[in-house]
Chain A
Amino acid sequence: MHYFIHHKWVQFIALLAIFFVLVMAISPVSGGNLWRFQENIFWLLPDTLNNFLKYLINDFWLVETYDIELDLTEESTMIKEFTRSLSGVILFFINLIRELLLGGVKTVVTFTSWDFISEHPWARIPALPWTAVASGAFLMGHFLGGRKLSILAGGSIIYIAVFGQWTPAMQTLSFVLVAVPLSVFLGLMMGVFAYKNKTFKIILTPLLNVAQSMPHFSYLIPVVVFFGIGDHAGAISTVIFATPPMIRLTILGLKKVSPEVLEAGLMSGCNPRQLMFKVLIPTARHDILIGVNQVIMQCLAMAVIASFIGTKGLGYDLLVSLNRLNIGEALELGISIVLIAIVLDKLSLAWANKQADYFADLPFHLHHKYSLAFFGILVVTSAIAYAISLFFPDKPNYLYFISDTQGLTTKNFWDTIVDWIITSTYQSVQSFNVFMITSILVPMKEAYLAMPVAATLFLVTGIGYLVGGLRSAIIVAAFIGFIALTPWWDRALITAYMVTFSTVTAVIIGCTVGVLCSRNTRATRVILLVCDTLQTFPSFVYLIPVIMLFGVSDLSVLIAVTVYATIPATRYTVEGLRNVPQSLQEAASMSGVNPTQRLLHVELPLAFPHIMLGINQTIIFSLFMVIIGAFIGTDDLGQLIMQSLSRSNGMGQGIILGLCVAFIGLAVDHLIHTWSDQRKQALGII
């Protein structure tokens, strides 16, 4: 008995034994509620939620509105009016930026009317020549970060223009340039407020947890209902999705500011506002910038997903070309998205690090040399563009605008390669597919589906209890129990099976690569750089090469998920091993261990809690990507979320399904964090 209490692994084995006994004992036919929860009152929840939201929109808080154009007084609701005006404001800014880049009349219309436009053909914003935008990018890169950044920014714009993606890329850019500042601003403000106000923070924290584990798709559904479809809806769902990490990192950064710095600010005579904006936020800059970076990444990831609800741009084109299996085109579009992501990330970073020179007493033209140069280039490029259209009115004007039919393209090249790969590897890929599906995936899926709900709940609750005591047991049981009560338990099991498979594969690959690379400082640097770069890719992009090589099947989803999820596993392994204190490594070496012994007995045990956090990330990444995989075709929760997007009454269902996914993630997250914190405390490395 004493042995039992003091050895966790014995308890785990006992737990597993009871679990298997339960699996054997409960039969699908006679198990009743023990096998699967029968239809219950809980199943009405999606419809209730749906009706409630409908009520909010259509019948709650009626107001009278007056329509000027129709000269009518109409009845509307406050919520509707609010969402309508919010959409209007956001759409105005998106259009403003878009028309500055691409030309158009909508912004002018906002201040006048359509009649005014038809009467005055000059009343439109002219598009900037792409040459001007490219030189603008060069100049801005140089101004903020020197030559390297200049080449990166300018080169990316040239790539986009030359490859004929100008219109969709600028549409995406205009959408991102509205969503990113809005998310950063909201995130920063809410983070600051949560830092100052404890009650607000207590309310906010669980909301943030759920918000960050909800899959992207489930945000789209309520947004469509409240805001309709279009660019603004995409921007709003992006903001909702991208703000939580910003809030979280703002709070984290502010909390890390040392109390003496805060006191130094106070003693310098800062008032609360100066203290926040001159001392606290700049000092917490590192974490806040990671937040900005996350926002940019989320926005570009959402740029693709938001195209489901009518956001124009690269994402929409990418979706269409993937649908048509135009792999070459999808690849080019994917590269454009990645380039925009990287450029925005680096520019924002450089901007935050920009230094002012106080003693440079420069004359006007040197002080404003960048703006003057841009103005000059703008005039010159516009003049050239105008001159060319004047002299060659029939020819396409390459120095003004390159449409997608005129641009360079490599898609034929890629398509040929893809064709070649498919034809030449058809046999081997096909047999690999068949092997994986029949001997691993299908049996695994069936095994998951054969678990009685009572046994599963017993297992997760038991693990919760062993890891974190009664509190964890209750938390985990509540999360998983919620899913069990919904009608979608089987779907959740399929999601769980896909996540398990890809996580296990990703962890094996990631940890091995991580351990191997950490043996060598140079390899460590390289692998961290690779991970950094791969992380900037929007998750959707990972589907392109996989479809290219493996076609459309369950397996290719799993491969894409695995590739995506390997990144955090590798990264955390390398970081964990690298952060093992030097003194301990030296102590081990002086005790006469060889490198393998040192790895096994010193480095891995110490790095293990950190590696566990990496595995946690791997699971969350897998979960998200499995849901996105619904786009290729799976039969799990994600597929249902996709379906509820196109159903008129799908709102309640979509939200509940999103919560199911979130709760899987939160349960795992809770268990691993609790364990890792305990372990770190035991090892004294917090």
Chain B
Amino acid sequence: MSTPIQPVIKCESVYKIFGENAEKVLKKTDGEVDTESLLEAGCVIGVNNASFDVHKGEMLVIMGLSGSGKSTLLRCISRLIETTAGNIFIDGEDLLGMNEKELINVRRNKMGMVFQSFALLPHKTVLENIALPLQVKGISTKDSMARAMDMVNLVELTGYENAFPRQLSGGQQQRVGIARSLAVEPEMWFLDEPFSALDPLIRKEMQDEFLRLQSVLHKTILFVTHDFDEALRLADRIAIMKDGVIEQIDTPANIVLNPATEYIAKFTRSVRRERVLSCQTIMEEYDVNTDLSDITVSKNAIIDTVAERVLSEQKPVAVLNEQDEIVGTLNSKIIIQVMFGETNNLPINNNAESQA
């Protein structure tokens, strides 16, 4: 999938190493990262050789348990912490080579970030919190307040604009955090476990809200979470991290169907496949002679949503693409296999999925 368009975020062999001796060891090896000698020197490796691209409008979810380095990676890309080695490019510009002024400019115009603990300023009202990024940019009070008010409406907090963060529930506070991060209309949106501190029901509601916003805004998103279900629900692609290493980076469906390591398999085992996979991943090749049923399904539909209809049909069901052309078929045997069978013997169209 080599597109001529340059990625919005490009990471090349990014390392983040913590520890007092890190610099000494790196100097000895001339910048080459030798993980074993670093570990010997008592260093902790936060991010270990991370390379990936994120394209415009794509949502990459970085998933990992605590201590896996996911938040560290996000902070390297937002340059809240300095990267030890490697390159990061934002819109083709070298992020790590920027001086402070350029960095502030990038943050003021291209980046927005949401935090796990909301990180609202306790002394400012909702409106003032949202207006902060605008005001530090030098936008007049009147304009920034008007813009902030638009954001309040966007995240459906109308009526709360003069409340203080302490007067709001967790979900409402995070809406303020989201509004603040979007106030300058950034291209890139970083979310660091935004919903982890919320109750399960509120979390679900906020995920829906988030998907709604993304369907309107089409930002380029890096989303960090420790919740595998959340990752599956939201992601275009998922990067799973363990001990600083990206173990696998792929679409949700491919991760569920082909976990690259035993570690990832532990996560995927309990996942209900029919809720993750779309029809095109398991469809059979279309044979013109086949006698098809009357109903059809879209190739992007999640199996769970169509399973009942397909199972109630005797004949195979046609799978259509966006142009309503038949690209494959589904029958009840495949569906049953997906829902109740073993992972290993599924007929999977990997190529079809990754092209999506």
Instruction: Please give, as numbers and ranges, the residues of chain A lying within 8 Å of B105 by CB-CB distance.
Output: 269
Instruction: Please give, as numbers and ranges, the residues of chain A lying within 8 Å of B125 by CB-CB distance.
Output: 355
Sample 27 A-B pairs with CB under 8 A, ordered by A number.
A258-B117, A258-B119, A260-B117, A261-B120, A263-B113, A263-B115, A263-B119, A264-B120, A264-B177, A264-B180, A266-B80, A267-B80, A267-B111, A268-B108, A268-B132, A269-B184, A270-B104, A270-B136, A274-B136, A278-B135, A278-B136, A279-B121, A282-B121, A283-B122, A283-B123, A285-B123, A358-B145
Q: Nearest CB to that of A264 among chain B residues? A: B119
Instruction: Please name 10 further chain A to chain B contacts, defined as beta carbons within 8 Å, in addition to the given A258-B119, A267-B112, A268-B180, sorted by A numbering.
Output: A263-B115, A264-B113, A264-B119, A268-B108, A268-B133, A268-B136, A269-B137, A282-B123, A355-B125, A358-B127
Instruction: Decide if B48 is an interface residue (CB 8 Å cutoff).
Output: no
Instruction: Please give, as numbers and ranges, the residues of chain A lying within 8 Å of B180 by CB-CB distance.
Output: 264, 268
Q: Total interface residues on B, using CB and 8 Å?
A: 37
Instruction: Decide if A271 is an interface residue (CB 8 Å cutoff).
Output: yes
| Top 10 closest pairs, chain A to chain B, by CB | A269-B108, A268-B133, A264-B119, A260-B119, A267-B113, A269-B107, A260-B115, A358-B145, A261-B119, A274-B136
Instruction: Decide if B124 is an interface residue (CB 8 Å cutoff).
Output: yes
Q: Which of A227-282 contact B (CB under 8 A)?
A: 258, 260-261, 263-272, 274, 278-279, 282
Distance in angstroms between the alpha carbons of A551 and B282 in the assembled complex: 99
Instruction: Decide if A413 is an interface residue (CB 8 Å cutoff).
Output: no
Instruction: Decide if A359 is an interface residue (CB 8 Å cutoff).
Output: yes
Instruction: Decide if B68 is an interface residue (CB 8 Å cutoff).
Output: no
Instruction: Decide if B83 is an interface residue (CB 8 Å cutoff).
Output: no
Which of A's residues lie within 8 Å of B, judged by CB? 258, 260-261, 263-272, 274, 278-279, 282-283, 285, 355, 358-359
Instruction: Decide if B78 is an interface residue (CB 8 Å cutoff).
Output: yes
Q: Which of B120-144 contact A (CB under 8 A)?
A: 120-125, 127, 132-133, 135-137, 141-142
Distance in angstroms between the alpha carbons of A282 and B133 in the assembled complex: 16
Distance in angstroms between the alpha carbons of A261 and B184 in the assembled complex: 18
Distance in angstroms between the alpha carbons of A228 and B137 in the assembled complex: 49
Asked if B132 contacts A278 (CB within 8 A), the reply is yes
Distance in angstroms between the alpha carbons of A285 and B124 in the assembled complex: 11
Asked if B132 contacts A263 (CB within 8 A), the reply is no
Interface class of chain A by DSSP: helix
Instruction: Please give, as numbers and ranges, the residues of chain B lying within 8 Å of A358 by CB-CB distance.
Output: 127, 141-142, 145
Instruction: Decide if B116 is an interface residue (CB 8 Å cutoff).
Output: yes
Neighbour of A269 across the interface among B104, B117, B124, CB < 8 A:
B104
Q: Nearest CB to that of B149 among chain A residues? A: A359
Q: Nearest CB to that of B108 among chain A residues? A: A269
Distance (whole angstroms) from the CB of A350 to the closest CB of chain B: 14
Distance in angstroms between the alpha carbons of A564 and B121 in the assembled complex: 38
Instruction: Decide if B181 is an interface residue (CB 8 Å cutoff).
Output: yes
Distance in angstroms between the alpha carbons of A271 and B105 in the assembled complex: 10
Distance in angstroms between the alpha carbons of A560 and B159 in the assembled complex: 55
Asked if A271 contacts B104 (CB within 8 A), the reply is yes
Distance in angstroms between the alpha carbons of A672 and B206 in the assembled complex: 49
Instruction: Please give, as numbers and ranges, the residues of chain B lying within 8 Å of A283 by CB-CB distance.
Output: 121-123
Neighbour of B181 across the interface among A266, A267, A272, A278, CB < 8 A:
A267
Distance in angstroms between the alpha carbons of A395 and B58 in the assembled complex: 86
Neighbour of A263 across the interface among B80, B104, B108, B142, CB < 8 A:
B80
Distance in angstroms between the alpha carbons of A250 and B319 in the assembled complex: 66
Asked if B115 contacts A264 (CB within 8 A), the reply is yes
Distance in angstroms between the alpha carbons of A278 and B135 in the assembled complex: 10
Distance in angstroms between the alpha carbons of A84 and B341 in the assembled complex: 92
Instruction: Please give, as numbers and ranges, the residues of chain A lying within 8 Å of B133 by CB-CB distance.
Output: 268-269
Q: Nearest CB to that of A271 among chain B residues? A: B104
Instruction: Please give, as numbers and ranges, the residues of chain A lying within 8 Å of B122 by CB-CB distance.
Output: 283
The answer to whether A269 and B136 touch (CB under 8 A), given A260-B117, A283-B122, A355-B125, is: yes
The answer to whether A261 and B121 touch (CB under 8 A), given A267-B80, A267-B112, A270-B136, is: yes
Distance in angstroms between the alpha carbons of A565 and B312 in the assembled complex: 85
Asked if A268 contacts B107 (CB within 8 A), the reply is yes
Distance in angstroms between the alpha carbons of A490 and B137 in the assembled complex: 65
Distance in angstroms between the alpha carbons of A261 and B123 in the assembled complex: 12
Distance in angstroms between the alpha carbons of A278 and B123 in the assembled complex: 10
Neighbour of A267 across the interface among B78, B116, B127, CB < 8 A:
B78
Distance in angstroms between the alpha carbons of A278 and B133 in the assembled complex: 11
Interface centre among A261, A268, A285 (most CB of B within 10 A): A268
Neighbour of A266 across the interface among B107, B109, B116, B121, CB < 8 A:
B107
Q: Nearest CB to that of A356 among chain B residues? A: B128
Instruction: Please give, as numbers and ranges, the residues of chain B lying within 8 Å of A263 by CB-CB distance.
Output: 75, 78, 80, 113, 115, 119
Distance in angstroms between the alpha carbons of A282 and B121 in the assembled complex: 8
Instruction: Please give, as numbers and ranges, the residues of chain A lying within 8 Å of B119 by CB-CB distance.
Output: 258, 260-261, 263-264
Q: Which of B243-278 contact A (CB under 8 A)?
A: none
Distance (whole angstroms) from the CB of A611 to the closest CB of chain B: 30
Distance (whole angstroms) from the CB of B302 to the closest CB of chain A: 34
Distance (whole angstroms) from the CB of B143 to the closest CB of chain A: 11
Q: Which of B39-97 contact A (CB under 8 A)?
A: 75, 78, 80
Instruction: Please give, as numbers and ranges, the residues of chain A lying within 8 Å of B184 by CB-CB distance.
Output: 269
Distance in angstroms between the alpha carbons of A260 and B142 in the assembled complex: 28
Distance in angstroms between the alpha carbons of A484 and B105 in the assembled complex: 61
Instruction: Please give, as numbers and ranges, the residues of chain B lying within 8 Å of A268 by CB-CB distance.
Output: 107-108, 132-133, 136, 180
Instruction: Please give, as numbers and ranges, the residues of chain A lying within 8 Å of B124 by CB-CB distance.
Output: 282
Instruction: Please give, as numbers and ranges, the residues of chain A lying within 8 Å of B113 by CB-CB distance.
Output: 263-264, 267
Q: Nearest CB to that of B123 among chain A residues? A: A282
Instruction: Please give, as numbers and ranges, the residues of chain A lying within 8 Å of B132 by CB-CB distance.
Output: 265, 268, 278-279
Distance (whole angstroms) from the CB of A213 to the closest CB of chain B: 33
Distance in angstroms between the alpha carbons of A266 and B142 in the assembled complex: 23
Distance in angstroms between the alpha carbons of A274 and B111 in the assembled complex: 18
Distance (whole angstroms) from the CB of A13 to the closest CB of chain B: 44
Instruction: Please give, as numbers and ranges, the residues of chain A lying within 8 Å of B177 by CB-CB distance.
Output: 264
Q: Nearest CB to that of A280 among chain B residues? A: B121
Distance (whole angstroms) from the CB of A574 to the closest CB of chain B: 25
Distance in angstroms between the alpha carbons of A302 and B190 in the assembled complex: 52
Instruction: Please give, as numbers and ranges, the residues of chain B lying within 8 Å of A269 by CB-CB distance.
Output: 104-105, 107-109, 133, 136-137, 184
Distance (whole angstroms) from the CB of A326 to the closest CB of chain B: 47
Instruction: Please give, as numbers and ranges, the residues of chain A lying within 8 Å of B121 by CB-CB distance.
Output: 261, 264, 279, 282-283
Interface centre among B105, B111, B123, B181 (most CB of A within 10 A): B123
Distance in angstroms between the alpha carbons of A419 and B75 in the assembled complex: 74
Distance in angstroms between the alpha carbons of A508 and B261 in the assembled complex: 67
The answer to whether A260 and B116 touch (CB under 8 A), given A271-B104, A279-B121, A359-B145, is: yes
Q: Which of B175-207 contact A (CB under 8 A)?
A: 177, 180-181, 184, 190
Instruction: Please give, as numbers and ranges, the residues of chain A lying within 8 Å of B80 by CB-CB distance.
Output: 263, 266-267
Distance in angstroms between the alpha carbons of A535 and B46 in the assembled complex: 49
Q: Nearest CB to that of B106 among chain A residues? A: A269
Distance in angstroms between the alpha carbons of A282 and B122 in the assembled complex: 8
Q: Nearest CB to that of B134 among chain A residues? A: A268
Distance (whole angstroms) from the CB of B131 to the closest CB of chain A: 8
Distance (whole angstroms) from the CB of B107 to the closest CB of chain A: 4
Instruction: Please give, as numbers and ranges, the residues of chain B lying within 8 Å of A274 by CB-CB distance.
Output: 136
Instruction: Please give, as numbers and ranges, the residues of chain A lying within 8 Å of B127 by CB-CB distance.
Output: 358
Q: Nearest CB to that of A269 among chain B residues? A: B108
Distance in angstroms between the alpha carbons of A635 and B155 in the assembled complex: 71
Distance (whole angstroms) from the CB of B53 to the closest CB of chain A: 22
Q: Nearest CB to that of B183 among chain A residues? A: A268
Q: Nearest CB to that of B133 among chain A residues? A: A268
Asked if B141 contacts A267 (CB within 8 A), the reply is no
Q: Nearest CB to that of A282 among chain B residues? A: B123
Distance in angstroms between the alpha carbons of A431 and B299 in the assembled complex: 103
Q: Nearest CB to that of A353 among chain B residues? A: B123
Q: Which of B152-170 contact A (CB under 8 A)?
A: none
Instruction: Please give, as numbers and ranges, the residues of chain B lying within 8 Å of A279 by CB-CB distance.
Output: 121, 132
Instruction: Please give, as numbers and ranges, the residues of chain A lying within 8 Å of B75 by CB-CB distance.
Output: 263
Instruction: Please give, as numbers and ranges, the residues of chain A lying within 8 Å of B145 by CB-CB distance.
Output: 358-359
Instruction: Please give, as numbers and ranges, the residues of chain B lying within 8 Å of A264 by CB-CB distance.
Output: 113, 115, 119-121, 177, 180
Distance (whole angstroms) from the CB of A179 to the closest CB of chain B: 26
Distance in angstroms between the alpha carbons of A264 and B80 in the assembled complex: 10
Instruction: Please give, as numbers and ranges, the residues of chain B lying within 8 Å of A272 by CB-CB distance.
Output: 100
Instruction: Please give, as numbers and ranges, the residues of chain A lying within 8 Å of B123 by CB-CB distance.
Output: 282-283, 285
